[in-house]
Chain A
Amino acid sequence: MPESVVHREPVHRDRDVARESRRIERVLIGVAIFILALFFFAPLAAVFYEAFRKGVPAFWKAIADDDTLSAIRLTLLVAAIAVPINTIFGVAAAWAIARFDFPLKSFLVTLIDLPFSVSPVVAGLSYVVLFGSRGYFGPWFAAHDIPVVFALPGIALATTFVTFPFVARELIPLMQQQGVDDEEAALTLGASPWRMFLTVTLPNIKWGLLYGVLLCNARAMGEFGAVAVVSGRIRGVTNTLPLHVEVLYGGFDLAGAFAVASLLAILALVTLVIKTALEWRHAEELAVKRRH
């Protein structure tokens, strides 16, 4: 997972033996910017260029299309399910792991990390294996008329899987670093456990929590591979935004595909801006050193 770094200004020295000459430095900076431009800015620019190539009216037409609007609604809905669930359980996991010692703790941490490295396609497949018609639980759910795969619950589950570690991963190092003094003091002063959690723990971790929720949300809205396997691609019903991009792309509607893609790119940019703002303002309240 992405980890920010506490923003420390570069070290300034008057006479610097531990430094390259100004000229080399400029070349190195130039090369670094070139690399990032090539890898990061060019794709982003391509998205917006293609989105507006046929003009603003074509762009709006693609966005205001019924199927696009329904994809936006579904995407928001899926995020509104997956993100709160992962937030609540992420806080619980962080509390158990950062505040207590117990056997096999590091194993539990590894398990929490697992969805980062599991292929999204495998994640989607695993829900088909469980809830598909031929799956282990599929027939039971079908008999009770509860749709899972190829409907909202399946899409929400697959999204929950891939966004599972974000909140916990943000909070664990932060809470470990903050220590238990504040909370113990609150208890000593007679606060109930809930009161302690709400008035001491939560305010302490709020920025880290927000940071985790933000990343969780970005991934939830943008997931493609896992959702593609369980969606069924019914236009206007089970197409999320990233799937709708693919649908339009396949419909010879390149401008439309990139218009919808640009919405997701804007989401990414907004995420980055908020994230960066959080890091600048609340650096000391976010974990200083995080693993990944």
Chain B
Amino acid sequence: MNISRRLSAVLLAGTVALSASTAAFAQTTLLNVSYDPTRELYKTINEAFAADWKAKTGQAITIRASHGGSGGQARAVIDGLKADVVTLALAPDIDAIAKQTNKIPADWQKRLPNNSSPYLSTIVLLVKKGNPKSIKDWDDLVKPGVGVVTPNPKTSGGARWNYLAAWGFALQKFNGDEAKTLDFMRALFKNAPVLDTGARGSTLTFAQRGIGDVLIAWENEAFLAFEEFGHDKFEIVVPSLSVLAEPPVTLVDGNADANGARKVAEAYLQYLYTPAAQKIIAKNYYRPLDPAAADPADVKRFPTLKLLKIDADFGGWPATHAKHFVDGGTFDKIYTPGK
């Protein structure tokens, strides 16, 4: 009768729409699975690359983007999200994909220049205009009454860089005394009223919701918030020491081959190293590998500061990860009940 007829009409409509949406996939599409703060960067890069590719090959391509916490994005790729390329916050997340699937070779990091990192960044502090709590360096973050906003290192790639920057500072301050460094970190996280799951969540918590006195953030994220919410609201504080963050990119061979998109995916990644892309990178507040290609005004915005390196100063990612971020690592030691 009436209802059943209407139901079958709805079902039919659903089937038609379903087949229509599968058909839409037939053209060349590229899926870039990335981490949180790169939304704006890849929006511009994708447009530029699509135009460049069209000019060179005459082929129109659609580039899809997916953004989220770096770990969560890697998890999705492991569980079957068909990323042609991944552009994540840190190498261990891509290592995890390589290890748990056979879609990426183990030596992926050697395939592109600079350990497969087409741009660099660092970790800085963002405070309220006028710096009411006079925060100058990492020491000031452990003072009582200072609210520190950072995402959770367990789920956010950026937060791991945050963590390492603070750890590196404290270790230097206490002349390599790890027990004191751990106490320092404990005091720092005791001041954290919120641990968002991703870097962008933390930025919103601090800038939009007015929580805390200082945000530990990617340099690019701090600049973006500074521009987005107004120069009269925040200012950036450059600490005496930070880390050189190298967010890596790679081809997910297994998916790109299945998608028939290896060629364009490889070109996409190589494009990131071209002067045109490096210019966009600097414009979006990421430190370019090739500053000469960027607008000098953009490059001038980046302060020079002492930067610790993951390989030279922390002994590389695998060791760092095992020491700090696995279950029972130093981060878990910070959060013990009753402290």
Contacts and interface: CB of A to CB of B under 8 A. Distances in A.
B336 interface: no
A250 B224 contact: no
B80 A235 contact: no
B11 A84 contact: yes
Interface string A253-265: 0100000000000
B316 interface: no
Interface stretch (A102-110, A128-136, A158-166): A128-136
Nearest to B65: A235
A252 B228 CA distance: 8
A83 to B, nearest CB: 8
Nearest to A233: B66
A138 B81 CA distance: 12
B128 interface: no
B66 A149 contact: no
Contact of B200 (A202, A250, A254): A250
A151 B271 CA distance: 28
A234 B64 contact: yes
Where chain A touches its partner, the secondary structure class is helix
A186 interface: no
A198 B5 CA distance: 11
Contact of B7 (A73, A84, A150, A251): A84
A202 B5 CA distance: 13
A131 B198 CA distance: 26
A81 B21 CA distance: 14
A235 B64 contact: yes
Contact of B13 (A80, A132, A152, A233): A80
Nearest to A141: B80
A250 to B, nearest CB: 4
Contact of B80 (A138, A198, A209): A138
Contacts of B78: 132-134
Interface string B137-179: 0000000000000000000000000000000000000000000
A80 B7 contact: no
Contact-residue bracket for chain B: 35 or more
B14 A142 contact: no
Contacts, number: 91
A234 B65 contact: yes
Contacts of A233: 66-68, 76
A249 B200 CA distance: 9
Contacts of A128: 79
A5 interface: no
Q: How large is the interface on A (under 10, 10 to 19, 20 to 34, 35 or more residues)?
A: 35 or more
Interface string A54-66: 0000000000000
Given A198-B1, A234-B66, A251 B39 contact: yes
B204 to A, nearest CB: 7
A234 B13 contact: no
Contact of B3 (A138, A209, A232, A250): A209
A252 B13 contact: no
B76 A232 contact: yes
A211 to B, nearest CB: 13
A115 interface: no
Nearest to B200: A250
Interface string B43-81: 000000000000000000000111110000000101111
Given A84-B11, A234-B65, A202 B3 contact: yes
B213 to A, nearest CB: 21
Nearest to A138: B80
Given A202-B3, A249-B204, A250-B200, A133 B67 contact: no
Given A80-B14, A235-B65, A251-B200, 12 more contacts: A77-B18, A84-B11, A133-B78, A134-B78, A138-B79, A150-B79, A150-B80, A198-B1, A234-B31, A234-B81, A251-B40, A252-B228
Interface of B: 1, 3-4, 7, 10-11, 13-14, 17-18, 21, 31, 33, 36, 39-40, 64-68, 76, 78-82, 100-101, 198, 200-201, 204, 208, 224-225, 228
8 contacts: A77-B18, A80-B17, A149-B81, A150-B79, A150-B81, A199-B1, A232-B76, A252-B225
